[in-house]
Amino acid sequence: MIDYCLLNFRVRGDHSGKLVALEKGEDFPFEIKRVYYIWATDRDIIRGKHAHRALEQVVICTSGSCDFILDNGRERETVHLDNPEQGLYIRNNIWREFTNFSDDCVVMVLASEHYDESDYIRDYETFLKEVATKDYC
């Protein structure tokens, strides 16, 4: 089983439209230290292709749709994101790739830490070796 989940956000909305507010606490798992967003990516491009040693992230497709491929070194799973009311919560040591971007896709990522290149594992073989040493079961 891959260690991820989809968070269902509380939507505050009325006749004027919808709004989601995210703060650490009941609705959100960590203190947000960094936000970035990705858009204008062609459908067939594969982004990501990395894992993080410690970073946790929540990924929200705020517009359009895309696919997230998650890999824990033993299994792979594809999660389709197309709903701004949900967030994909990905913890550390998960290889991720994202692709199949719709033209209107905007992906917003909320991260638990500041940007730190040394937290990235960008080579898949290195990732497999690192997760294998942490595979206690």
Instruction: Return the SS3 of 28.
Output: coil
**Residue 37 in the binding site for ligand TYD (CB under 6 A):** no
> Which member of 47, 65, 102, 128 binds ligand TYD (CB under 6 A)?
47
Q: Is 34 in the site for ligand TYD (CB under 6 A)?
A: yes
Is 97 among the residues that bind ligand TYD (CB under 6 A)? no
Distance, CA of 98 to chain centre: 9
Q: Is 115 in the site for ligand TYD (CB under 6 A)?
A: yes
- CA nearest 37: which of 121, 85, 123, 98? 98
Decide whether 83 or 99 has the Cβ nearer to ligand TYD: 99
Closer of 34 and 91 to ligand TYD (Cβ):
34
Which residues lie closer than 8 Å to 52 by C-beta, 6 or more apart?
92, 93, 94, 119, 120, 121
Q: Is 50 a catalytic residue?
A: yes
What are the catalytic residues? 50
